[in-house]
Structures are given as structure tokens and as C-alpha cells.
Structure 1
């Protein structure tokens, strides 16, 4: 077995560290790349009958039909979490979080027949809707 000197150990360690960093450079560069034009559409629904689990289930059923719209990149249905701080709004019944590649795809979604049918069939369930639209910076 070859005896390892301090000098050769340090030299090998430095080389391996440098080589490892070179391999990680593409990954580090991609961490700073901006996603192309993300558009976020977040909708909060307050029900006419806030205590009705049946109405909530019906609304969630309707939201699930919207997932068929191909312009949606990612869709999530949520309910208020159990967190409790002064800044948290927990009065809504259901939230609908959507990600699109750009504003144009979100506009297609708004006019899509499935979306229009959803509003027609389920709008009687809610008393209030708040929408937060945002774009990636």
C-alpha cells in the first residue's frame, strides 16, 4: 500500500473539491434562473352556508372539474389550516390555487367553457369570492 503524505492528501482533496464544484456549477446556475412568466391565480370562497359540509363538498366537486382545462399547469384545492396568528385569514371555506405559464393562459382559462359552466353551476354556493392574481418577478 502506498504511503499517503500530507502534501498528496491536500493536493488530492483540493482537486476533488474543485472537480465537485465544477459539477455543481450547472445546478447553482439553475437556482438563479427565473421561471418563465409564472402567473398565479389564488381564489378564496366563502360559502352562503358556512357550516354546510355538503355545500363545501359540492364546491370542491366543481373545482375538480376545472382541472380538465389544459392551460392549468398546477392546481391545488385547500381549506383553512389550523394555524392561528393575528395575520391569518381563516374565514374562507375553500381556496383554489392555480399556476399558469403566463397571463394569456390564465385568460384562456377564464373564458373556457368548463370554467363558465363551473360558475353557472356552483356560484349559488358562495356568498363572497376574493381573487389574488400575481406574476413572478
Structure 2
């Protein structure tokens, strides 16, 4: 006995089209989410002006210290940077190192500020900088 049902070309194409459309529309919410930015992100960007701006050793020490902070669980994303080789009137290039952090919200950023690893970082590395500027913002 043949259990396989013989499909006509028309019914096969009709079923295939229906399944394709169902699959596509099933993916629509995922495609829509991929273009959306998460709401509520808290951005903390720190710029360090070095006491000895020409010292590669001091800059390396500060970067080493910043890397120790990356293990703090409250941090969603962290980036360490140095000035890019760009020159326009609006670009500030006087800082030595930047520290860019993303948190889920202000509360998570406050956890980071009070975290023992962060407090130890300030204690151990603050002698390397003469000025710090912080820009905090929230995602819109």
C-alpha cells in the first residue's frame, strides 16, 4: 500500500508558498527587533588627561588598570580608547585614554561606582592622571 500521497505541481507550489510566507512573517518580529536599539541604556564615557602625557609606560599602566574593571558584572559593554589620528576643529585630542562603558540603567552604573574593584582602581592608578572628564548620558 502506498502511503505517499501524490501531489500535483499546483498543490505543491501552493503549499510551498504558504509555508514560505508563514516562515517570513514568523521572522518579521525578529527582523524588526534587529533595527531597534535597546531602551534605557546608560552610557558612561571617561576621558583621562595624563600627568606625563609623553610617557608610554604611564599610558600602558592606566590601560592595564582599566582592563581590571572589565570584570565588574554591572558593565554591559566596555571599550578602552586613545585619540584617533583625526584633525578637525571640533575634535578634542588632548586626553590620553578614554573609557567607554554601557550599563543597563543608572542603578547598574551606581553599582559599578561603588564596586570594590573600581574603588581599588582609583586608589592604585589616580596618580597617573591630572584631569578626568566624565560624560554620562542615557540612550533615547
TM-score normalised by length of structure 2:
0.79
* Cα root mean square deviation, aligned: 2.2
Aligned partner of residue 89 in structure 1, secondary structure: coil
Larger Rg over CA atoms: 2
Once the two structures are superposed, residues 20-41 of structure 1 have per-residue CA deviations (whole angstroms, 9 ceiling, x without a partner) of 8636532442145441310110
The corresponding residue for 2:122 is: 119
Question: Of 37, 42, 58, which residue of structure 2 is paired with 1:39?
Answer: 42
Question: Of 91, 104, 108, which residue of structure 2 is paired with 1:105?
Answer: 108
Which whole-Å CA distance do the structure 1 matches of 2:136 and 2:105 have between them?
11
- Structure 1, unmatched stretches of 5+, are 1-11
Aligned length: 125
The corresponding residue for 1:68 is: 71
The corresponding residue for 1:8 is: none
Which whole-Å CA distance do the structure 2 matches of 1:104 and 1:49 have between them?
34
Which segment drifts farther, 26-35 or 120-129? 26-35
Which whole-Å CA distance do the structure 2 matches of 1:77 and 1:34 have between them?
22
Report 1:48-87 matches (<5 A). Answer: 48-87=51-90
Aligned partner of residue 115 in structure 1, secondary structure: helix
Once the two structures are superposed, residues 26-73 of structure 1 have per-residue CA deviations (whole angstroms, 9 ceiling, x without a partner) of 244214544131011000000000000010011001101111111101
- Structure 2, unmatched stretches of 5+, are 1-13
